[in-house]
Each structure stands twice: as C-alpha cells, then as structure tokens.
Amino acid sequence: MSDIAKLIIGAGERLADIRYASGLSTPDDFLYLESEAGKFVICSSLEFARAKVECKPGVTVLNTADFADSANLGVIAEFAQNQQITKFLVPADFPLKLADDLRMRQISVEPLTGAFFAGREFKTRDEVNQIIRAQRAAERGMRRAWEILGEASVNRKKILVWHGETLSSEILRTEIDLELLRAGTVSGNTICAGGVQGSQPHNLGSGPLAADAPIVIDIFPRDMATGYWGDLTRTVVKGKAGATVKKAYDAVKAARDLAQSLLKPGAIPAEVTQKATAIMEAAGFSTGRDDAGIDYGFFHSLGHGVGLDIHELPRLSVKNHQPLQGGEVVTVEPGLYYAAWGGIRLENLVSVIPGGIELLTQIGDLLEID
Amino acid sequence: MSDIAKLIIGAGERLADIRYASGLSTPDDFLYLESEAGKFVICSSLEFARAKVECKPGVTVLNTADFADSANLGVIAEFAQNQQITKFLVPADFPLKLADDLRMRQISVEPLTGAFFAGREFKTRDEVNQIIRAQRAAERGMRRAWEILGEASVNRKKILVWHGETLSSEILRTEIDLELLRAGTVSGNTICAGGVQGSQPHNLGSGPLAADAPIVIDIFPRDMATGYWGDLTRTVVKGKAGATVKKAYDAVKAARDLAQSLLKPGAIPAEVTQKATAIMEAAGFSTGRDDAGIDYGFFHSLGHGVGLDIHELPRLSVKNHQPLQGGEVVTVEPGLYYAAWGGIRLENLVSVIPGGIELLTQIGDLLEID
C-alpha cells in the first residue's frame, strides 16, 4: 500500500482544485485528502451536514470534531498516522506554516508544480456546457452594453448621456452586472474602460465615457450553481472610430481569427502566439516599452484556460511549448494598447476539438455604434 | 540596517493583507515587500501603469520586467541581494513552493501566525465609514427581501407565491443581490435558507420557500470601490411562527443583545461567548451532536472581525481569551440550529469604542411578516 497521499486545504468558493476534487463549495477552508484508501473531505461541524449531501460520489466526509485535535495540523497528523502516510503531495501554493508544522512532525510535504489534477485542463462535455451557460450570460451582458450605448446621446463636449445623466464606466458596468445576475451568474470585475484608460489592460474604467473613442468591455461571469466561468471582450466606439483605431481593430481581429484557425490538437501555443503577434506587427503595431517604463503594443498572453478558475491552464503564450491535446477550453484575446489613444481587445472563448475548435462565443463583432 | 523584510504575494482582489498594505486591487498576483529601505510593489507590465497611480502614498512601484529574471523567485532573490536581505517574514499561508525555492537559495523564510499587519484589526474612522457603507447596502437588500415576503401570497400547499410564480430561495437571493449591486456592492453568497435547510449554517438555500417556517437571510456585500464588507443576518417567518421557533428567536435575540451590552475594550471574547451561550441554554436550547454526527444548538462562534476580509480577526469565540482593545469591528451573531425545524440567526455589526460599542446596523428586528 502506498504511503503517499494528495492533500489540499482551501475554501471551495475560491480554490478551484478543492472544488473540482470534492464538488463542495464553501466559504471557509476544509481539507481534501486522496490516498489509496479513498477520497476524503474533512470539514468542521459548520459544513458537515451539507458536505455529506453535496460532495461528489465516492468522497467520504469526516468531521474535524471527531479527531483528537480538531485543528488542521492535528487532523492531518492523525489521518497520516491512521493510514500510515509518510508523505503528502500538495499544490505549489499550499500554506507554508502548515507544511512547516507537518515537516516538524516528520511528515514529508512535497509541493507539485503545474496542474495538481491533470484532468482539470481537459473538459468533459458537461463542463463545456457549464462554461457555455456562463458565456451566454456574458453575451447577454454585452448586448445590454451595446443597447445602452445605442440609446445614449452625445453632448456638446462629446460625452455620452443616457437617461438624462452622464454615462460613466460605473453606470455601464452596473447595468451589465445586473444583467449577469439575472442570468444566474456573478460578475467578475467587469471592465468598461474608455479612451486612454483602455490602454491599461486591467483598468476597470471610471468616470464619463466619451464618443468616438474605443471602450474596452471585458465581461467574465461565474455561474452561481456550478462555479464555471465565461469570458468575453469586445471593443466598441460610440460614434465614429478614427483611422488608427479602425486599423488597430482590424489588426486585432485578424490576429484573433488567425489564432482561432490555428488552434487544434497538436498546435503549439507559443507558435500560435507568435503568428498572431506577427500579423499585428505587419499591420504596423509594434510592442515595446517607453521611457517611463510603460509597455505598449501587445504585451499580455494570447489566451488562457477557463473552467472553475477564470485563469487556468493551459496558457496560450510564447512561453508554452506544450502541444494542445484537445479538450482544453481557452480564450483567444489579442489586444493592442497605446497610451496615446487607448486599447483594443477582442476575446472569444473556444474549445479545442479534433481537427480544430468549437467556438463557444455566439455574439458577433461590432466596432461602431450609432 | 536590518536584513529582515516583510514579503507578501497575492492578488489584491482576494488577499486582504496585500490590498491593505499596497492599496492596489488586482485580479493577478503581485509582490509586496517592506524593508528598512521602504515599501515596494513589484508587478508585471499588465498592472504597472495602473499601480503607479493607484498604490498608497509612499509605496514604490517596480516592474518585474526590469529584473534579470522576471519570475517571482528571480525577482525576490534579486531584491534580497540588492538590499542585503537574508530573511523574509511572510504570512502563514504564503505559498510553499516559492518558500522552498527561496530557502534553497539560502534565503530564510519565516511564516508568522496571527495578524500580519496588527493595524488591520483596529479600524480607522475612514475604514469604519467604508464598512458602514457596505452595511447600508446589506440593509437595502434585507428591506427588499422583507418587501417581497410581504407581497408574497401563500398557496394551499403553504408555499409562497410572488408575481404568479413559486417564490424560491434562488429568486429571493437574486432580488437581494440586484439591490446590492444597485448600491455599489458585490454580493457574497447571500443565504436564503428556509425551514430545515436553515439548520445548516452555510446552506445557501434552494427550492420553494414555505410559509410559517423560519427563513435565515444572511447578506454580506463588498463595497466595489473600497473592498470593505458588511454583514447582516435576520430570520423571518412569512405567516405565523410556531411556539418553538418563537422561543428560539427570543433566546437568540436575548443572547445577541446581552453580548452587545458586554462588548467593550477589556471584554474577553471567550467570556462574552459563554454568557451568550448560557442565556440560550437557560431558555432550554442545548448544544450537542446527534447519532449521525450532526451538531445541533449553537455550534459556531459568536462573531468575527469584518474589514477587507469578510472573516478576519478578532474571533469572538470560546477560544479567544485576548481582551478587546477598542477599534475592532465585529459581528455579533448567535444562532440556534435544529434539524427538526430549522435555524434562527440574528447578526448585527458593531464597532468597539471606549466604554462599549457603536452599533453599525440600523435595521431593526422582525420575526413575522404578514
């Protein structure tokens, strides 16, 4: 019998690995252990009754109160002793203090790098369907944003006005998030970044939105029932886009569409990223860093896996030389960012299937809204 | 010059310590270091431009791209070498792999237990005001829930009906969460647990809500702009509460009000918890565990600190013998839970001030809704 077991500690609401393994979503930390003897959730009285009902089939639920010492260290040590486990494999971000304390008790703790459960990277049809549900919510949110921008008027100062009020990033975000909630999802930090704010990829956007300038709208809702995420970005202009913005938009769209056409089992993420980058460079959009240390051009990765985490494996980046295998669900989201005028990002969600991809995004593309 | 520095790694959106120290909210991990040379945020190009604007005064922002090796390990090691740091103090939940790798490079890493920043436990007036703002949103959500329960009718099967539809936990939760969003906050996992579901303190509630049975409504929104939380629980009955429920409600209310009257600088959380428990026991509500291992009675702590985390120090529990000092913001939330009929929990939020408390909750108590 093996003396090695897997061990995770975390809250099901936040730690995707523990939710994936146990099926349990909780606000507080609990333990998950997987040994030759089976799969175990060990939680406090606060979660015990519910855990017995909600855990995946095959998971045995234990109560910390049934251990001599109900603190995590005591529980794990007693479990190890009972099952003659001498070594725990844990995720790379396992809490240091607990690991140090276990090691003090002569129990080996080895952090693993990369995927803790290899299966998480490759989605079942059920998982893809849950992601699609979240993606449909994101699309509802995007349609609502477009609708509001369509209804908005433009005042003499070129600022958007909606329902008699200045239309701000905050108002647009709230309207999107209300729509996400109505669709049974919880919003991540929806981005509505107009003008130069859009040149910072993670700027949420704030203040009045202006006409004739790009607005980056990035919507990533999490399905309340299942915990799976969707992810969608479009960039639109209320009014008329200038020549540079139009050109940048076309370059980003070409890069995205090229990348989508290249993704399939066997494709190398680094190569796809390079080709997508090259098409934007060929259109005249270079990447670099200015004198103030601010990056410009295309300086984030091409995409990332989506599942129980909004950012998970695999990464589509120049650093990833592992061929795709099929079953991955990834975003494809090239972007261009320049402090002079703002940013463009276009993001689709795809599932890698035999021979290519299944596009999980239904909503189309749109640059200008009248 | 000291060769010791504090080090945190995490995402500002999720790790309260790093947001508290830096002022920066991000979706992805960044580094925070505090040495005799000053306070430093080290983040990727993706956050750099925004971090320079949004970090607290006195924090120097560096770009990982300016380090020879931009991976976390390389960045920290180069920083340590430049500043001749030989030991990092880190939070107890610092990621194990990174700590192991630093130790391999002869850099000492010591996890601290308890508060990483002692100041977090004691709120400034600004922080209290931000918590109050979130709490007002929670109260708006609660009023909306009560309004809906007031509008609901009861069908022949004693099930609630609202706008011609069966009123479920899910519908009630969505309506509450919409209200929270309109108030500029993001909902935690709002609990609307009716009948026996309410006997599991963390059961979110699902399915049709019934008349004449207690519904535990626990609302904890996070202010979008500042990241501070509110926390509020009431338990109501649509229709008439039975004798046991009424008696339990009165006992929980008496326990809460007694605890509130005892909290002040110098009060011992363990003693306050014992007195609150005793008043419920004296009313006939005992605590224990049944043959199936399910706890009943009052089996969670009396309260917890609230700030940038929904659950933070100090804990109000039988295990905490440290006297309160003043400045803490804590929940006071006794409860009673019995699988036979459900649960009652009543939660207020208070700030510990000289001589007693400031009640941060404005909404009153209500058991029965017609």
pLDDT 10s digits, B79-94: 999 999 999 999 999 9
- Which residue from A minimizes the CA distance to B199? A49
By Cβ distance, the residue of B174, B201, B203 closest to A181 is B174
List all residues of chain A from 24 to 83 with a beta carbon under 8 Å from chain B: 26-28, 45-50, 63, 65-66
Q: What is the pLDDT of residue A292?
A: 86
Alpha carbons B130 and B226: distance in angstroms, whole number: 7
- Which residue from A minimizes the CA distance to B203? A50
What does the pLDDT average to over A233-244? 98
Q: Between chains, do B339 and A49 touch, taking CB under 8 Å as contact?
A: yes
Q: pLDDT above 70 covers what percent of chain A?
A: 100
- Which residue from B minimizes the CA distance to A90? B96
Q: What are A229's strand-pairing partners?
A: A222
Q: What is the Cβ-side half-sphere exposure of residue B21, based on CA atoms within 13 angstroms?
A: 29
Q: Which residue, among B43, B96, B296, would best test binding to A if mutated, counting the most A CBs under 10 Å from its CB?
A: B96
- Which residue from A minimizes the CA distance to B95? A93
Structural contact between residues B142 and B102, judged by C-beta atoms closer than 8 angstroms: no
Q: Between chains, do A48 and B178 touch, taking CB under 8 Å as contact?
A: no
Q: What is the pLDDT of residues B127-157, one digit of tens each?
A: 999 999 999 999 999 999 999 999 999 999 9
* CA distance to partner chain A, nearest, from residue B202 (Å): 7
- Count Cβ neighbours within 10 Å for each residue of A88-115 and write b for 16 or more, e otherwise: bbbbebbbbbbbbbbeeeebebebeeeb
* CA distance to partner chain B, nearest, from residue A201 (Å): 6
Q: What is the pLDDT of residue B292?
A: 86
Q: Between chains, do A27 and B189 touch, taking CB under 8 Å as contact?
A: yes
Q: pLDDT above 70 covers what percent of chain B?
A: 100
CA separation (Å) from B228 to B14, B29, B123, B270?
12, 20, 11, 26
Structural contact between residues A302 and A268, judged by C-beta atoms closer than 8 angstroms: no
CATH 3.40.350.10 domain locations along chain B: 4-116
Which residues neighbour A252 within 8 Å (Cβ) at sequence distance 6 or greater?
A235, A280, A334, A335, A336, A344, A345, A346
By Cβ distance, the residue of B92, B189, B289 closest to A96 is B92
Alpha carbons B34 and A78: distance in angstroms, whole number: 38
* CA distance to partner chain A, nearest, from residue B78 (Å): 19
By Cβ distance, the residue of B65, B188, B201 closest to A46 is B201
Residue A52 clears pLDDT 80, i.e. is over it: yes
Q: What is the pLDDT of residue B100?
A: 98
Residue B353 clears pLDDT 70, i.e. is over it: yes
- Measured between beta carbons, the chain A residues lying within 8 angstroms of B100 are 111
* CA distance to partner chain A, nearest, from residue B242 (Å): 24
Residue B1 clears pLDDT 60, i.e. is over it: no
Structural contact between residues A339 and A196, judged by C-beta atoms closer than 8 angstroms: yes
- Measured between beta carbons, the chain B residues lying within 8 angstroms of A74 are none
Alpha carbons B45 and B166: distance in angstroms, whole number: 51
By Cβ distance, the residue of A26, A97, A339 closest to B111 is A97
- Which residue from B minimizes the CA distance to A26? B202
**How many helices (H) and strands (E) in chain B?**
8, 24
By Cβ distance, the residue of A46, A47, A202 closest to B46 is A202
Alpha carbons A235 and A142: distance in angstroms, whole number: 10
Q: What is the pLDDT of residue A114?
A: 87
List all residues of chain B from 284 to 323 with a beta carbon under 8 Å from chain A: 289, 293-295, 299-300, 310-311
- Measured between beta carbons, the chain B residues lying within 8 angstroms of A24 are none
- Which residue from A minimizes the CA distance to B63? A293
Q: What is the pLDDT of residues B25-57, one digit of tens each?
A: 998 899 999 999 999 999 998 899 899 999 999
Helices (H), chain B: 16-22, 45-54, 72-82, 96-104, 125-151, 169-182, 243-262, 269-282
Q: What is the pLDDT of residue B48?
A: 92
Q: Between chains, do B46 and A300 touch, taking CB under 8 Å as contact?
A: yes
Q: Which residue, among B110, B116, B169, B181, would best test binding to A if mutated, counting the most A CBs under 10 Å from its CB?
A: B181
If you average pLDDT over every residue of chain A, what do you get? 96
Q: Between chains, do B94 and A95 touch, taking CB under 8 Å as contact?
A: yes
By Cβ distance, the residue of A47, A50, A92 closest to B97 is A92
- Measured between beta carbons, the chain B residues lying within 8 angstroms of A66 are 293
If you average pLDDT over every residue of chain B, what do you get? 96
Q: What is the pLDDT of residues B299-331, one digit of tens each?
A: 999 999 999 999 999 999 999 999 999 999 999
Q: Please identify, in words, the CATH class of the domain defined by B121-369.
A: alpha beta
Q: Which residue, among B97, B222, B290, would best test binding to A if mutated, counting the most A CBs under 10 Å from its CB?
A: B97
Token pair for B44? 């990727």
Q: What are A38's strand-pairing partners?
A: A35
CA separation (Å) from A164 to A49, A159, A161?
52, 12, 6
- Measured between beta carbons, the chain B residues lying within 8 angstroms of A98 are 92
Question: Between vectors from CA A165 to CA A159 and to CA A167, what angle results, nearest 5°?
Answer: 50
Q: What is the pLDDT of residues A106-139, one digit of tens each?
A: 999 999 998 999 999 999 999 999 999 999 999 9
Residue A1 clears pLDDT 90, i.e. is over it: no
Residue B271 clears pLDDT 70, i.e. is over it: yes
Q: What is the pLDDT of residue A2?
A: 77
Size of interface A-B (CB pairs under 8 A): 124
Structural contact between residues B359 and B135, judged by C-beta atoms closer than 8 angstroms: no
By Cβ distance, the residue of B100, B111, B181 closest to A177 is B181
Token pair for B242? 């039975």
**Superfamily assignment of B4-116 in CATH?**
Creatinase/prolidase N-terminal domain (3.40.350.10)
CATH 3.90.230.10 domain locations along chain B: 121-369
Q: What is the pLDDT of residues A271-319, one digit of tens each?
A: 999 999 999 999 999 999 999 888 999 999 999 999 999 999 999 999 9
Q: What is the pLDDT of residues A326-359, one digit of tens each?
A: 999 999 999 999 999 999 999 999 999 999 999 9
Q: Which residue, among B15, B45, B53, B67, would best test binding to A if mutated, counting the most A CBs under 10 Å from its CB?
A: B45
A188 touches chain B (CB under 8 A): yes
Alpha carbons B132 and B141: distance in angstroms, whole number: 14
Structural contact between residues A270 and A302, judged by C-beta atoms closer than 8 angstroms: no
- Which residue from A minimizes the CA distance to B97? A92
Q: What is the pLDDT of residue B281?
A: 98
Q: Between chains, do B46 and A293 touch, taking CB under 8 Å as contact?
A: no
By Cβ distance, the residue of B63, B184, B202 closest to A46 is B202
Q: pLDDT above 90 covers what percent of chain A?
A: 96
